Amino acid sequence: MFLALFVALAGGGIYYGVRSSGVTPSDLGELWTLPIGVLLGLLALCGGLYLVDMCRYRVFGRAVGDVVTWRAALDATVANFFFSWITPGAALGAPAAIVMLGRRGVSWEGAALIAFGKSITGTTLLVLLAFAALATGYGPKLDGGALAVFTTGTGILAAMLLVLVAGAMWSEATIRRIDRMEPWLARRRMLRGERAQRIVKKLCEGMRSTVRRLAKLRTGGPAMPFAILGVHLAYNAVLVAIAVVLALAFGATSVPDAIGISIVYTAFTYVAPTPGGAGLSEAAATVFYGSILPARDAVLVVLLFRALTFYLHIVIGIVYLGIVGGTRQILERSKRPSEPAQ
């Protein structure tokens, strides 16, 4: 069902982008007409994306005191990519990684901390980078109103995520503040309804739980935050580089603009409400890349980027998980109420 939803949404977005720009299916074959150096670079980057993500699992394993083998990291990477891209809000990405890590000998508690910590800290960094690109003028060239809304929304999301990550550094003080904030919110007139009270309670419980889990990443020593930052930067650099190489290959002339727009676009695909950003990511091609490329080339860049970093991951996931198994366990574990959400 999730896979069918992803295909339907992606198909709708592709249809909209193709129809509005004049791209034909045969135009996608232009990828193979690019210089051999560009094709080899894209191939290396696509493989590097898996390798760097595997390194992220191993670093987070050391952070929580668990050993994550290369095989466990590969299983978790493939499963996380597959289930993240086909479920809304990447809802099954973390549970998938937890199951695959647990099957390869990682403790279940450690697997949950690794998957959860990697997810929230990685998303935080990407959104922060997108906000920085927008704030410094290197994002997509939007009109004043749209840019203000987009920048403000990205900034608020970045601030919310950053508070949780920073709160883990001073977890006890942060939890005390949340404890004091909960009754204060409960007394607000607009939040006195029974439903609003339940939302406030659930929100505060979620924040406390997040801070406690992230705080456990500090057990790896004082250098661990820098190691985590390093692998996240490496992963985002490889991911964004795929879009930048495509944009430059299709005629973009400004490297800084291509980098800034690609960072913001990548963040958009991660936080869009549809599974894997399907539909919205394809339809928004000219919104992001239209300022540095003609509409036709902007759509081609987005479709090829999505093909290399989303659609390909789904195909690999179907084949790989069919060989090593684990899909049934992932779906069963995701139904358990105690399982942490991504």
**Can you tell me which residue has the tokens 């791209």?**
23
Q: Token pair of 282, please?
A: 């394809």
Burial class (CB in 10 A: 0-12, 13-18, 19+), 313: buried
Please, what are the averages of pLDDT over each run of 10 residues along the chain (342 residues)?
72 68 68 88 96 96 90 95 83 88 90 87 89 87 69 74 72 82 76 76 81 73 84 96 96 94 91 76 86 90 92 92 80 52 34
Report the alpha-carbon distance of residue 302 to residue 247 in Å, rounded: 9
Residue 18 and residue 299: Cα distance in Å, rounded? 7
Question: DSSP string spanning 226-251?
Answer: HHHHHHHHHHHHHHHHHHHHHHHHTT
54-84 burial string, b = 16+ CB within 10 Å, else e?
Answer: bbbbbbbbbbbebebbeebbbbbbbbbbbbb
Model-wide pTM > 0.85 = no
| CB within 8 Å of 105: residues ≥ 6 apart | 67, 69, 72
Find where tokens 């973390």 sit.
94
Chain segment 177-212, per-residue pLDDT in tens = 888 888 877 777 666 677 777 888 888 887 787 787
* Beta carbons within 8 Å of 291's beta carbon, 6+ residues apart: 140, 141, 257, 261
Amino acid identity of residue 255, one-letter, is V
Q: What is the pLDDT of residue 20?
A: 62
User: DSSP string covering 115-164, please?
Assistant: HHHHHHHHHHHHHHHHHHHHHTT-S----HHHHHHHHHHHHHHHHHHHHH
Which structure tokens are listed for 284?
A: 């928004």
Residue 13 DSSP symbol: H
User: 172 burial class (0-12, 13-18, 19+ CB within 10 angstroms)?
Assistant: exposed
What was the pLDDT predicted at 178? 83
Q: Give me the pLDDT at residue 339, please.
A: 39
Separation of alpha carbons 225 and 152, rounded Å: 27
